[in-house]
Amino acid sequence: MIDLLYNGILVVLVIVWILAVCRPHKGRVVKFVKKHRVVVAVLLWAAFLAFLVAFVAKIDYFTEIHDIDDAVEAATSHFLHGGNPYVDEVVPRFSEKYHPDPEFANGTYNYLPLDLLIYSGANSALSPIGAPAWFVLVNLVFSGAALFLFRRVVRTEWMMYVPIAGVVMIFYSYDNASFTLLLMVASIYLWRMRSERTTYLAVFLLSMATMTKAYAAIPLAVLVLFELQSRISARDVKRIGRILLIVAGCALLALALMLPFGISNVLDSAVFFHASEQSREETSAGGTLLSEIGMGSPYYGMASVLFVVAAIVFSMRMKNLDDRVLLVMSAFLLVVVKSSYAPLTVLGVYLGSRLYDVLHSGPRADNAEIRSSVSAADDESSPSGTDA
């Protein structure tokens, strides 16, 4: 069955992105928000407080409807006792959790090794407070830090920003996407600082995010291609080499993290698993828009890859990095087999970054426009800076 909430959020984010680069719609929305910002703020705070009250009052219900906390608790505990959760089937899964008689089974861990190591450390340090309390607390810290830093990117009024950030924190409090979100936001923040050094750090941090959740590979690939394109355009061989060296170093680091668990074991469990029908059968999540239509076809996997590759190629005509990520990530989220709310954070943060440029520099703002030349004399100047 199609996941209506997931696909509804995806459609709304895409519509907002499309409208954001259109001057008439941008003008009307901005004028309305500015004119009625007190009313808008009151509504946002009311929604946030209602969600917070419901979360606290129904904490047992929220715990029951999530399964990631169970998976992380089982995998990290097993790892801390010397086991390999990418081989040993210790992670509880369910195929029909919301039915009267759910069918439970065990499987391997479906998230990458850096995620396992970080949450194992948190489990070891905070296990006395019990599960899932330690998991929720850690996620609130990660997402809180991410959203505090993201406020430095979008520079929205605190009155408007806090209730939105609060809803996001609560929504992802049972999801280890919070750590990936922190790495991703830190990457965006550093990339927009416009120096060559922070650009390299941004690539590194986004590479680290990819070592926690496989979907972070999408914005990483777009960012690396963007930086290579700008350097090739400027014929800057030195900086092309630096970018490739960073990417190669991060690839080696990823292999080093996977090696103790078995590289093929990790890839099967944490990457290829998410593209299989098994990922749908053993979880409660529904399908995405296009997967519900074509997943029965033996050519669906190949068609999905070609669809995303086509989006990447087309995106290379865009001058704005945020637009590139939004296009490719939207294409990816339309064809993935299993709906997952975690990748929606990618659309959310890059859309927020894009909206900031639109609101402050006009609807055609090109943050980090491709340069035709780069000053070779100044190693600290970046060809990827923000023009906003």
Diameter over CA atoms, the chain = 69
Q: DSSP string of 42-82?
A: HHHHHHHHHHHHHHHHTHHHHHHH--HHHHHHHHHHHHHTT
pLDDT of residue 94: 63
Q: Are 143 and 169 in contact (CB under 8 A)?
A: yes
> Distance between CA 214 and CA 250 in Å, rounded?
14
Residue partners of 379: CB distance under 8 A and separation at least 6: 196
Output the pLDDT for position 275.
Answer: 66
Which position has the token pair 């922070």? Answer: 198
The whole-model pTM stands at: 0.86
Tens-level pLDDT at each residue, the chain (388 residues): 667 788 888 889 998 888 877 665 555 666 777 777 888 889 999 999 999 999 888 888 777 777 889 899 999 999 999 999 999 999 987 655 545 555 667 889 999 999 999 999 999 999 899 888 999 999 999 999 999 999 999 988 888 899 999 999 998 999 999 999 999 999 999 999 988 899 999 999 999 999 999 999 999 999 999 999 988 888 888 989 999 999 999 999 999 999 999 999 999 998 887 766 555 554 545 567 776 676 667 777 788 889 999 999 999 999 899 999 999 999 999 888 777 888 999 999 999 999 888 877 654 455 544 443 333 334 443 334 443 3
Q: Is 120:110 a contact under the CB 8 Å cutoff?
A: no
Q: Where are the domains of the chain?
A: 4-361
The torsion of the CA quartet 11, 13, 15, 16, rounded to 10 degrees, works out to 160
Phi first, then psi, for residue 267 (nearest 5°) are: -65, -45
Residue given tokens 């970018």 in the structure block: 243
Instruction: Give the pLDDT confidence score for residue 381 in this predicted structure.
Output: 39
Q: 340-361 burial, b if ≥16 CB within 10 A, otherwise e?
A: bbbbbbbbbbbbbbbbbbbbee
Which residue carries 């490739």 as its tokens? 244
CA–CA gap between residue 196 and residue 113 (Å, rounded)? 29
What are the tokens at 32? Answer: 């309305």
Query: Is the bond into 132 cis (omega within 30 degrees of 0)?
Result: yes
Token digits for 120? 């194992």
The pair of three-digit structure tokens given for residue 182, joined into one six-digit string: 């922190």
Which structure tokens are listed for 194? 């416009």
